[in-house]
Amino acid sequence: MKNKLQWKFVLIMLLLILILMTVVSVFLIQGVQRFYSNAFFSQMETVFTDKLLYGELTAALYEEDPVAKIQEVLDAYQGRLGINTDTRNYYILDGTAGSVLVTSAVGEAGQLAITPNILQALTGSFAFGGNATADYMDIAVPVTGEGDSIEYVVYIRDNRQTVRDLTLSLVSLIMEAVGVGFVIAVALALILAKTLLQPILGMTKAAEAIAGGDFSKKLSVESDDEIGILAHTFNNMASQLQATLEEIRRSETLRREFVANVSHELRTPLTSIRSYAETLTENPDMEKETEVSFLHVILNESDRMTKIVQDLLELSRFDAGNVQFNFERFSISKSIEDVRDAVRLEAASRGHTISVTIPEGLPHIVGDRARIEQVLINIVSNAIKYTPDGGYIDITSGSGDGHVWVAIQDTGIGIPEEDIPRLFDRFYRVDKARSRESGGTGLGLSIALEIIQRHGGDVDVTSVVGEGTTVTVRLPIEPKAADGEKSAGGRHHALEE
Residues that bind ligand ADP (CB under 6 A): 382-383, 386, 410, 412-413, 415, 423, 428-431, 435, 440-446, 469
Cα-Cα-Cα-Cα dihedral sign, residues 441, 442, 448, 453: negative
Listed in sequence order, the residues at least 6 apart from 348 whose beta carbon sits closer than 8 Å to its beta carbon are none
Cα–Cα dist 231/225, whole Å:
10
* Smaller CB separation from ligand ADP, 432 or 480: 432
Report which secondary-structure segment, H or E, holds 372: helix 369-385
> What residue number has its CB nearest to ligand ADP?
440
* Smaller CB separation from ligand ADP, 398 or 439: 439
Furthest-apart CA atoms within the chain: distance in Å: 176
* Smaller CB separation from ligand ADP, 71 or 409: 409
* Smaller CB separation from ligand ADP, 155 or 428: 428
Report which secondary-structure segment, H or E, holds 434: helix 432-437
Q: By C-alpha distance, which of 326, 337, 407, 404 is closest to 369?
A: 326
* Smaller CB separation from ligand ADP, 89 or 435: 435
How far apart are CB 395 and ligand ADP at their closest, in Å? 12
Strand partners, 139: 156
Residue 211, Cβ density class (10 Å: 0-12 exposed, 13-18 middle, ≥19 buried): exposed
Listed in sequence order, the residues at least 6 apart from 335 whose beta carbon sits closer than 8 Å to its beta carbon are 369, 372, 373, 376
Cα–Cα dist 295/290, whole Å:
9
How far apart are CB 441 and ligand ADP at their closest, in Å? 5
How far apart are CB 305 and ligand ADP at their closest, in Å? 14
Is residue 153 within 8 Å of 122, Cβ to Cβ?
yes
* Smaller CB separation from ligand ADP, 44 or 377: 377
How far apart are CB 456 and ligand ADP at their closest, in Å? 21
Q: How far apart are the first and last CA of the chain?
A: 51
* Smaller CB separation from ligand ADP, 190 or 342: 342
How far apart are CB 266 and ligand ADP at their closest, in Å? 15
* Smaller CB separation from ligand ADP, 53 or 354: 354
How far apart are CB 443 and ligand ADP at their closest, in Å? 6
CA distances to 345, 346, 392, 447 from 379, rounded to whole Å, are 16, 13, 14, 11
How far apart are CB 400 and ligand ADP at their closest, in Å? 24
Strand partners, 393: 354, 410
How far apart are CB 493 and ligand ADP at their closest, in Å? 16
* Smaller CB separation from ligand ADP, 70 or 413: 413
How far apart are CB 462 and ligand ADP at their closest, in Å? 11
Cα–Cα dist 27/48, whole Å:
31
